[in-house]
Structure 1
Amino acid sequence: MRAPPVPPLSIRPYQLSDWPRLCEIHDRARMDELRRSADVAAFRSLARTAHSEGLFQDRLDVGELDGTVQGFVAYRHNSLNWLYVHPDCYRHGVGRTLLRHAIAFAGPRFSTQALQGNEPALALYRSEGFVEVERRPGRLAGSDEFPAVGVILELRR
């Protein structure tokens, strides 16, 4: 039996009233990301990291399904800096649609980064034409005691 079709994702600019939902999305999805890559002990909530990690310095848009925000994306002309999807909507096209939305505003070179081990994110980026250009060992932002490897990807058009 096939899953029911997913309604189209509506993308709009972030509004202050979206903040609680963005926190929920980030905090749940970030735990999945850390389980695959670094260490869940490195978790820091969006409320704690949003300003220090520059969430609001970029263009910030949200994706809604049936009036509920299910993901968000922050990007600039040359870089994708945040992309998170609520775990209930993994593999429903929310992340891909938000990524394509950001790409539509990108310049000829557009880069992003994912943590080594976060294969779902890496697979999504590669499927949209991003290529790996570097692996950079370092420490997690905001959790300097935790080593991690960032995979730098670039989309060239």
Structure 2
Amino acid sequence: MISIRKYQENDFLRLCEIHDQARKQELKSANLEEAFIPLKTASKKEGLFRDYQVYVAIKEDNVVGFVAFNKEELGWLYVDPVFQHQGIGSKLIDFVVSSPYKPIYLEVLKGNPAKNLYLKKGFKVIRHEKGQMPGNEKFQVEVDLMKY
């Protein structure tokens, strides 16, 4: 069983482990491995705790994933690679879209297999964009902007 609760400060090191492993996977799928920035740095540069509400997924008393969103954007969603393909990402998306702060969009890096999950959950691609990677602007990225 998977439960979701609000982030607590003592979750931070576990979020770092999850993000860093899953982010490396995500960047590899976009041929951007060199753009990796660990969560300890990225969370500050990108305003994770300042700009977003953060929730964690719990399975068997362990934090196995997290999501961060605000009224406009689903900005972060990562699941520990050991626990991927077990419905955790799906449950986190369901939690977000059922919240009163339902975000209207998200961006998915070109090549990210999570795009299929977002499509399955009702998000639609509204446009394809190219630009600089938020938090690591020296890298060019391609993303699909998706709306729920």
Q: TM-score, length-normalised on structure 1?
A: 0.89
* 2:110 maps to 1:116: yes
From 105, 121, 140, give the equivalent of 1:147.
140
Point out the structure with max Rg over C-alpha.
1
Give the number of aligned pairs.
147
Q: Secondary structure at the match of 1:51?
A: helix
Aligned pairs for 1:56-71 within 5 A: 56=49, 57-71=51-65
| Amino acid across the alignment from 1:65 | K
Could you tell me how far apart the structure 1 residues matched to 2:83 and 2:73 are? 24
The residue that corresponds to 1:88 in the other structure is 82
Residue 145 of structure 1 and its aligned partner are, at CA, apart by 2.1
Aligned pairs for 1:44-63 within 5 A: 44-56=37-49, 57-63=51-57
Q: TM-score, length-normalised on structure 2?
A: 0.94
Question: Could you tell me the percent identity over the aligned residues?
Answer: 35
The alignment yields a C-alpha RMSD, in angstroms, of: 1.4
Could you tell me how far apart the structure 1 residues matched to 2:134 and 2:25 are? 17
Could you tell me how far apart the structure 1 residues matched to 2:101 and 2:77 are? 18
| Amino acid across the alignment from 1:49 | A
| Amino acid across the alignment from 1:73 | V
CA distance 1:130–1:44, shift in 2 (3 Å) = same
The residue that corresponds to 1:133 in the other structure is 126
Kindly indicate whether the alpha-carbon contact (under 8 Å) linking 2:70 and 2:102 is maintained by their aligned counterparts in 1.
no
User: Structure 1 unaligned runs (5+)?
Assistant: 1-7
CA distance 1:128–1:41, shift in 2 (3 Å) = same
